[in-house]
Chain A
Amino acid sequence: MSQHAHNKLDQQTRQWMQQTGLDQPAGDFTQRVMQGVEMQKRLAHLKDKRSNIWNILLAVIVPAAYFFYRYMSGAPLLPGGFNLQTELQPYINIFQLLFSKITLDLSAPIVPLGILAIITLLVFDRLIIRSLSLHK
């Protein structure tokens, strides 16, 4: 095809395509997109809130678990050798009793207990999401 014919074809196509115009979506299209944007904003906010709750919980649970472990292994509660065992004995007895009761009752291997713990945490996570959604 010659350059002239090629250019003519190009011009014709441009002219026709521009005459054809664009298709248009439904009238409320922008509104629906913006509703989706709002939803995404809310979800992002919810995600932030949820991670905050988990951070707070971890800040409490991790030190508690650490001290509990040290107590159970008979080591001093703090690395410096400071032993709170005697001072806290009445309170610790309650936890000890509870713990021994659980271990006796369950006496299950560690893997199913781990799975149970994960399921519990997931359920707890869902509950946090649900309660946050309800309070929106």
Chain B
Amino acid sequence: MGHIQDEYYIDRVLQGDHSSYAILVERHKDMVYTLASRMLKNREEAEEVAQDAFLKAFRSLKRFRKESRFSTWLYRIVYNLCVSHLRKNKKQVQSLDDNNYHVDPEDPHQKMDQLEASDRSRFIRQALERLGYDEQTIITLYYQDDQSIAEIAEVTLLTQANVKVKLYRARQKLHQHLGNILNHEINSLL
């Protein structure tokens, strides 16, 4: 098997081989940083929080009981640190248009297909930025890290039913925002 499990490196770190921790950092840094940057919407702060999360995870590694995936446990630390950071700085990132979202799934999809990959990526990022931090976290973990509903509930401390509802709404809002962004772009070109 080419891909060695995280647990192997965790055991090595706990046995005193601290350099094995670099492999875990290298493996998870992009997702940790993505979560932090989407929640905080600031690259510098996201790097700082991501770094703190890895150091906190290192300090608490003895307490990791391996009942969940290492990544789930790590994302929980990141999520908590980001929420504390937002509260400390009194940044309340609310999602836009919390109510009254109606989606025509055909609409943004057709327009998106006609775009270059880089533009598509840019518009999706813009649409993501309009979601609340919990919706961004849920949608990112679900679609970009294949975390299950149960795992996401563990990260965010929400109930599984609540995660499902938020995921459903986040998906709808993402499409709505994407549609709005694309319409705005098209109108500005005309």
Contact = CB atoms under 8 A, between A and B. Distances in A.
Interface of B: 18-19, 21-22, 25-26, 29-31, 33-34, 37-38, 46-47, 50-51, 54-55, 58-59, 103, 105, 109, 112, 117, 120-121, 124-125, 128, 139-140, 143-144, 171-172, 174-175, 178
Contact of B117 (A1, A19, A25): A19
A33 B125 contact: no
A134 to B, nearest CB: 24
Contacts of B121: 19-21
A5 B105 contact: yes
Contact of B143 (A18, A26, A37): A18
B29 A17 contact: no
Contact of A25 (B29, B124, B171): B29
A34 B119 CA distance: 36
A9 B38 CA distance: 22
A22 interface: yes
Nearest to B175: A9
A34 B30 contact: no
Interface of A: 1, 5, 8-10, 12-14, 16-26, 29-30, 32-34, 36-38, 40-41
Given A24-B29, A33-B51, 5 more contacts: A13-B171, A20-B121, A23-B33, A29-B25, A32-B51
B21 A37 contact: yes
Contacts of B22: 30, 33-34
B139 A25 contact: no
B31 A22 contact: yes
B49 to A, nearest CB: 11
Contacts of B33: 22-25, 29
Contact of A40 (B34, B59, B112): B59
A128 B120 CA distance: 60
B50 A34 contact: no
Given A9-B172, A18-B144, A22-B31, A33 B47 contact: no
Contact of B175 (A13, A23, A40): A13
